[in-house]
Structure formats: C-alpha cells, structure tokens
Amino acid sequence: MAEAIWSIGKIAKRCGIKVSTLHFYEQQGLIHSWRNAGNQRRYKPEVLRRISVIKAAQKVGVSLEEIKQAFESLPNNRTPTVEDWQELSKQWQQMLDGRIAYMQKLRDNLAGCIGCGCLSMTNCPLYNPDDQLAEIGSGPVLLDQAEQRAGMDRLTS
C-alpha cells in the first residue's frame, strides 16, 4: 500500500491552522515536509499527530522551544507515539504544576502586595516600606519567594 502524502492545504484544514503556521512550524524544526516533482510541499499523515501535540502543549503553556526540545529527544525525530506522549506529559506536568501554583498565588494576592516595588498601593508601605525588597531582587519579590518556597517543597516531598 502506498504511503499517503498530503498537501499543505489539506494538513492546514485538517489541523485547523493557517498555512503560514505550518511554514513557521517547519522553519522552527517542529515538523518536516518534502517537495514533490512540482516543488509543492508534501507531508506524511503522521504530521497531524505532531501538530496535535504542539497545539495541546501550547494550550497548557508549554513553549515552542520546550516542545522542540521534547521532539528532539525522540529517536530519529519521529512522531510521538502514545508512550512518547505519556513520557512528555510527565516531564511537562512538573513544570505545569509549578506554573499553576504560581498563578494561584498571584490570583490569591492580586488585591495585596506582591513586592514589586511600586509603593502605590496602600498596603505596600506596610509590606515593603521604602522598597526594602529591592535589596532581595527585582520584580514581584514576595510572589516569587512564595513560588521558590513551593518549588523547594515539591523537591523535598
């Protein structure tokens, strides 16, 4: 049985993405195509799974660089199998758990001071008088410290 080859338009339509997105993914080394005799891009059908993994991972906050690194870990740069997806998702789960914890902490502290140094909120002079937290670091110091503590707790548990 001959291997199916799909046009760029068919892949884009089936995946619900723009042709320009396929070009971008290919430039980033996330997917691969070849050219037929008419110099048109052609794809193997398993590229659909790669694109689905890319889209699913992006929806949960995995960067394209992290996705690329994960794909590069696969033998012969093959399309992820079910087992591969299980392993990739385990690797990403810890990172995502950290992001979720950080976002929950941010959500819980939106009405209060996060230690950014702005000194504009009425609570900030209580938490951070004269921006003393600047000596510790930049950005939302209190929020980041809470995340670092949570990360250490996850490592030690």
Full set of structural domains in the chain with CATH: 1-79 (1.10.1660.10), 92-157 (no CATH)
**Per-residue pLDDT reduced to its tens digit, 60-93:** 889 999 999 988 888 877 778 888 888 888 888 8
Residue 78, pLDDT score: 79
pLDDT at 145: 78
Which tokens go with 37?
Answer: 């005799």
Nearest-10 Cα torsion for 114, 118, 122, 126: 60
- Tell me if 143 sits within 8 A of 104, measured CB to CB: no
Residue 16's Cα: distance from chain center in Å? 19
Residues with pLDDT less than 50, the chain: 1
pLDDT in the model for residue 1: 43
